[in-house]
Amino acid sequence: MSKKTIMLVCSAGMSTSLLVTKMQKAAEEKGIETDIFAVSASEADTHLAEKDVNVLLLGPQVRFMKDQFDKKVADKGIPVDVINMADYGTMNGEKVLDTALGMIK
Amino acid sequence: MASRKETILQFLAENEAAFTAAEIAEQLDLDRANASRYLNELYKSGEINKINGRPVRYQKLIVMESIIEEEAFSKLIGSDASLKMMIQQAKAAILYPPNGLHTMILGKTGTGKSLFAECMYKFAVESNTLNDEAPFISFNCADYAQNPQLLYGHIFGVKKGSFTGATEDRDGLLKKANGGILFLDEIHRLPPEGQEALFTFIDKGEFRPLGESGTVTQVSVQIIGATTEGTESLLSTFKRRIPMTITLPPLSERTIEERYDLVTTFLQQEAYRLGQKIVVEREVLSAFMLYQPEGNIGQIQRDLKLVCAKAFLHYRTQNHDHLQISQKDLPLQVQKGLLFIKEAPESMERLIDMKKSNFSFLPASQERILSETDPAADMRVYTAIDQKVNEISQGEVPDNIELETLLQSDMEEYFREYVEKLSMTDIHQEIIPQEISRLTDKLYDVIEERLSRKYDGKARFAFALHLQSMIERVKEHRNIVHPDLNDVRKRYSKEFQVAIELSGIIEEEFNIELPFDEIGFITMFLTIELGETPNQKEHMVEVFVLMHGNSTATSMLETAQELLDMKYGYALNMPLTMEVQKMYEQLRKLVLENQAQYTSGILLLTDMGSLTSFGNMIYEETGIRTKALSMVSTPIVLEAVRMASIGRSLEDIYQTCQSNFENMTRQMIQTDDKKPQAILVTCFTGEGVAAHIYNRIKLNINENKVKIIQLQFLHREAFKKKIDDLMEEYEIKAIVGTVEFNYQNIPFFSAYDIFENEKLNLLRRIVDEEVPVEQIVSSLEGQLVHVGSVQKLILLLQKMVHEIQSQMQTILEPGVDIGIILHLAFLVERLKTGNFDRHFPEREAYQKQHRLEMDIVKTAMLKLEKEYRIHIPTDEIAFVVQMLVNNQMN
């Protein structure tokens, strides 16, 4: 299994960075090789260009950007979704990780 | 001449069929005009039957004795006197081969049309014309008169898809009555298309359900229609199309013996129903036999019921061993009967023993109870009194207070409460049908002219609501007792006169009859002043916000005032350079200057230190009750100002604010044992307005997760108790109802609110599933280290985000609020540790475009800035606005 790259996007990349930490921890426990990182909305484009992102997750507060990202990454075939509010509210890294991995085709 | 008449009689007696005058003239070789005259004479003398139609037919009388020992009609009072001929007609109509004759029963209100129709059915069964299982269906066309389509569908059935909501084929009453009798009361209320369809059925025995264009349905049903004597043209249509017409006599045409039977039978029945002896004074019997009720027998029945209810109240509260009815208990109109005692027929004396002063009715037998649907059989009046008495006597009642008086004053209080609360709440027009609001305006034209008084919109509104439920109540024969009726009549004779005039208008408009008790209630509406909210000012608690810092107090209070959109409360700032003594002097001066206004007390909201001790000092120096809360944050200021401004008591506000504070910590501890959520929906009857509300919110609330409970709201205290009980089982998220009700900090929504999308959304948000605060807090553990209590921050943010949403009148996609809360939590942390510098693209343009939203968010953020002594950059506010604006639902 190759390395999975998961990109989290929120307004400033602050709150999602905590989630990233928790997801990384969960991945380690499961022994899955991942590259998980959080960026602010404005940084997203640069990262998309530089990295080979497998899945893109949005913080609920920037749910409105989903359409925008859907279009942007359509040609790359990257799945995009909004993080479940309960998982986000409780910073449930394991569940968000599972969701993300499930989204990768 | 007599011989020719006899010939005709003989001829008819030998034939089963009915004949026209022309046929008889031909058969017997008579002149047609003469034959017609003889037939008419024979009919008038009761020797033959006449069957209306075109042409009119005549038939021999059906001789009953030969058929059976019948009972159906024999129990009717007057069956051998005033009703004799009508019963003959009715029997003929039933026995007429092959399936009986469709019949119209005419008669003034209260002459017993429904009962008579029931007797006809019973007779049909007794005479084996119908079998035991044959249906008898009774329906009052006035019930759906506002909705002709519904009425038509109810009678003739509905074909799937004929209108929105007709999701399946539905049988009408006609189909259900197949093989039996369909009784249509107030048949004149049928819309023209309904009449036409009914006549088609009468002529051909077939009909089409609503929306059915093809096949016709055929059933065998005998129609009995009833109507009060309406307009001539309408009547002639019915008479022409419906072959048999029976006219029941008004009360004035009944014999005095029948009057006696009626009154004593009713009393006997009440005694039986209550299982208690009823003793009446002779004058009571005389009055009931002689007064002239416009509502005929029905009104005698109601008046007697009312009198019995009063006697029952007395009996229950005074612990008598029987019910006693005296002349003074009688409604005025009944008492007036005694004025006719001189002209009373001699037979009165034979019926009522003049030597006896009291007459007893024992609960021995039930022989005359005829109708199962008899509205007088309704026991609710007694049950209500009973409950009330029990309720009160279980509590502590001082011996020197008379229960009866207590009940009556309770009634008055209930009424006052009813009106005041009603007028405070506003309700959308759609709740009040147009015909009611039109009628209300019409009535107030009369009221204002007669009483030369003005009534405001609130009064009109309260009255309109009352009218609506009153009309429903009367139509459903639900009695309401006004125990203070006589008193009201005496004390407000002028208003009472006007109320009687109004009742006439209402009765005409809705074709109902209003009992005196209802008129009593209307009277009270006219006497209650609903002007400006009186002397509320002096009942309000004053709120002082005292804080350290140059402007902390001012800005906290301003924030609260802005959010509440009101000017209430005082702010006193204490710059760090100011001496405590000086601060105290300022406060003391302010209090002393306005001492007269602070009779309800003062609440001091402070942050810390010596300011907290001001409370006691102020109390000792001025004697004004003063409470102080320390460690106050903006949410508490908000709550205190809100409560004070609506006139809540000092103790109440103090307790609530204190428990709010405790709640913040308690919520932390509370864990998994979550109760199911519920919304309470209330109104006075628990079925009227509440049903409207229920239908509205059930579409917006997931009933699997949130239970919607409909409740009756009669008395405030009783309702509180009910809520307490329910809170054991449910987490009550909101109360929705007609009466403004603040309790246990449960959000209240008026019916008016619920019909506004914005408020409905708020309700929806309140019951939205939330991620528990303690879970959010624990997931952030160790991450936010510069903000003090994380849980306090999250609670503050949560409230703030909710407030912003209300202010912006917006509802966000689920989960967005949590996202924003977390975003802001990290933002506060970041700002506490240093600057956070990022730019919102083209901010200036965005700011202009969203000026209002920017303002709202900025204002809300003030609290956060004060609380955490940070400055939130405008760019960040713009980012938050963007999250709010772009994430709105639809």
Contact between B282 and B97 (Cβ < 8 Å): no
Contact between B264 and B361 (Cβ < 8 Å): yes
CA distance B84 to B254: 12
Q: What is the structure's pLDDT at B230?
A: 60
pLDDT band per the 50, 70, 90 thresholds, residue A100:
very high
Q: Which among B126-130, B182-186, B319-323 has the top mean pLDDT?
A: B182-186
Minimal CA separation from B785 to chain A, in Å? 14
Q: What is the structure's pLDDT at A80?
A: 93
Which stretch of B216-225, B340-349, B501-510, B522-531 has the lowest confidence by average pLDDT?
A: B522-531
Which residues in chain B have their CB less than 8 angstroms from residue A12's CB?
Answer: 823, 826-827, 836, 838, 879
Residue B512 has pLDDT above 50, yes or no: yes
| CATH T-level topology, domain A4-103 | Rossmann fold (3.40.50)
User: Structure tokens of B164?
Assistant: 């929105």
Q: Is A25 on the interface with B (CB under 8 A)?
A: no
Q: Is A1 on the interface with B (CB under 8 A)?
A: no
Which one has a higher pLDDT value, B544 or B169? B544
Which stretch of B25-34, B522-531, B814-823, B835-844 has the lowest confidence by average pLDDT?
A: B522-531
Minimal CA separation from B816 to chain A, in Å? 5
Which one has a higher pLDDT value, B143 or B685? B143
CA distance B295 to B53: 31
DSSP 8-state assignment for residue B339 = G
Q: Could you give the domains of chain B? A: 2-60 (1.10.10.10), 102-121+132-247 (3.40.50.300), 253-392 (no CATH), 403-527 (1.10.1790.10), 537-669 (3.40.50.510), 677-767 (3.40.50.2300), 773-886 (1.10.1790.10)
* Averaged pLDDT for residues B140-154: 80
Which residues in chain A have their CB less than 8 angstroms from residue B883's CB?
Answer: 11, 61-62, 64
Which residues are registered as beta bridge partners of A82?
A: A58
pLDDT band per the 50, 70, 90 thresholds, residue B883:
very high
Q: Cβ contact (<8 Å) for A85 and B771?
A: yes
Q: Cβ contact (<8 Å) for A12 and B879?
A: yes
Minimal CA separation from A44 to chain B, in Å? 15
Minimal CA separation from A2 to chain B, in Å? 30
Which of B775, B779, B823 lies at the smallest CB-CB distance from A61? B823
Which of A9, A15, A87, A95 is the mutation pick for testing B, counting most B CBs within 10 A?
A15
Q: What is the structure's pLDDT at A101?
A: 92
Which residues in chain B have their CB less than 8 angstroms from residue A68's CB?
Answer: none
Q: Cβ contact (<8 Å) for A14 and B818?
A: no
pLDDT band per the 50, 70, 90 thresholds, residue A97:
very high
Contact between B307 and B383 (Cβ < 8 Å): no
Burial of B302 (0-12, 13-18, 19+ CB in 10 A): buried
Tens digits of per-residue pLDDT, B747-773? 778 776 776 666 777 677 667 656 777
State the Rg of chain B over Cα: 37
Q: Cβ contact (<8 Å) for A92 and B822?
A: no
Q: Which H or E run contains A37?
A: strand A34-40
Which one has a higher pLDDT value, B243 or A54? A54
Alpha-carbon dihedral angle through residues B183, B185, B188, B191, given to the nearest 10 degrees:
-70
CA distance B637 to B556: 7
pLDDT band per the 50, 70, 90 thresholds, residue B785:
confident
* Averaged pLDDT for residues B798-824: 80
Tens digits of per-residue pLDDT, B66-102? 444 567 888 888 888 899 889 988 988 888 877 888 9
Residue B47 has pLDDT above 90, yes or no: no
Which of A40, A61, A86 lies at the smallest CB-CB distance from B816? A61
Q: Cβ contact (<8 Å) for B818 and A92?
A: no
Residue B365 has pLDDT above 70, yes or no: no
Which one has a higher pLDDT value, B130 or B863? B130
Which residues in chain A have their CB less than 8 angstroms from residue B813's CB?
Answer: 60, 63
Tens digits of per-residue pLDDT, B708-729? 888 876 556 667 777 777 877 8
Alpha-carbon dihedral angle through residues B101, B107, B109, B114, given to the nearest 10 degrees:
-30
Which of A14, A61, A94 is the mutation pick for testing B, counting most B CBs within 10 A?
A61
Q: Cβ contact (<8 Å) for A63 and B826?
A: no
Minimal CA separation from A95 to chain B, in Å? 14
Which residues in chain B have their CB less than 8 angstroms from residue A93's CB?
Answer: none
User: Which residue, B783, B778, B686, is CA-closest to B739?
Assistant: B686
C-alpha torsion sign, points B637, B642, B645, B648: negative
Q: Cβ contact (<8 Å) for B883 and A11?
A: yes
Instruction: Domain ranges for chain A, please list them.
Output: 4-103
Which of B771, B816, B883 lies at the smallest CB-CB distance from A90? B771
Please tell me which residue of chain B has the smallest CA distance to A91.
B779
Which residues in chain A have their CB less than 8 angstroms from residue B783's CB?
Answer: 18
Tens digits of per-residue pLDDT, B9-40? 888 877 777 888 888 888 888 888 888 888 88
Which one has a higher pLDDT value, B644 or B143? B644
Tens digits of per-residue pLDDT, B326-352? 888 787 778 888 877 777 777 787 888
Q: What is the structure's pLDDT at B274?
A: 82
Q: Cβ contact (<8 Å) for A61 and B827?
A: no
Average pLDDT value over all residues in chain B:
78
* Chain B residues touching chain A at CB-CB below 8 Å: 771, 775-776, 779-780, 783, 813-816, 818-820, 822-823, 825-827, 830, 836, 838, 841, 879, 883, 886-887
Which stretch of B492-496, B587-591, B758-762, B885-889 has the lowest confidence by average pLDDT?
A: B758-762
Q: Which H or E run contains B236?
A: helix B232-241
Minimal CA separation from B793 to chain A, in Å? 15
Q: Cβ contact (<8 Å) for B779 and A91?
A: yes
Q: Cβ contact (<8 Å) for B827 and A12?
A: yes
Please tell me which residue of chain A has the smallest CA distance to B886.
A64
User: Which residue, B828, B844, B842, B726, is CA-closest to B783?
Assistant: B828
Which residues in chain A have their CB less than 8 angstroms from residue B771's CB?
Answer: 85-86, 89-90
Which stretch of B158-167, B327-336, B869-878 has the lowest confidence by average pLDDT?
A: B158-167
Tens digits of per-residue pLDDT, A28-68? 999 999 999 999 988 898 899 888 899 999 999 998 999 88
Please tell me which residue of chain A has the smallest CA distance to B815.
A85
Residues 6+ apart with CB under 8 A from B618: B587, B588, B591, B602, B604, B624, B626
What's the Cα-to-Cα distance from A99 to each of A23, A56, A104, B121, B303, rounded to whole Å?
11, 11, 9, 72, 74
Which of B783, B830, B886 lies at the smallest CB-CB distance from A64? B886
Residue B209 has pLDDT above 70, yes or no: yes
pLDDT band per the 50, 70, 90 thresholds, residue B539:
low
For residue B797, the number of C-alpha atoms closer than 13 Å in the C-beta half-sphere is: 25
Which residues in chain A have their CB less than 8 angstroms from residue B777's CB?
Answer: none
- ipTM for this model: 0.92
* Averaged pLDDT for residues B608-636: 80
Minimal CA separation from B871 to chain A, in Å? 17
Which of B770, B810, B818 is the mutation pick for testing A, counting most A CBs within 10 A?
B818
User: Which residue, B245, B242, B250, is CA-closest to B107?
Assistant: B250
Residues 6+ apart with CB under 8 A from B67: B95, B127
CA distance B359 to B357: 7
CA distance B108 to B227: 8
User: Which residue, B808, B820, B817, B827, is CA-closest to B871?
Assistant: B827
Q: Is A97 on the interface with B (CB under 8 A)?
A: no
* Averaged pLDDT for residues B849-867: 85
Q: Cβ contact (<8 Å) for B771 and A89?
A: yes
Q: Cβ contact (<8 Å) for A59 and B823?
A: yes
Minimal CA separation from B677 to chain A, in Å? 18
Q: Cβ contact (<8 Å) for B819 and A64?
A: no
Q: What is the structure's pLDDT at B377?
A: 53
Contact between B104 and B150 (Cβ < 8 Å): no
Q: Cβ contact (<8 Å) for A82 and B815?
A: yes
Which of B781, B790, B826 is the mutation pick for testing A, counting most A CBs within 10 A?
B826
Contact between B295 and B110 (Cβ < 8 Å): yes
Minimal CA separation from B862 to chain A, in Å? 21
Amino acid at B182: L
Amino acid at B240: R
pLDDT above 90 covers a percentage of chain B that reads: 12
Q: Cβ contact (<8 Å) for B771 and A63?
A: no
Please tell me which residue of chain B has the smallest CA distance to A86.
B771
Q: What is the structure's pLDDT at B425?
A: 32
Q: Which residues of A are catalytic?
A: 10
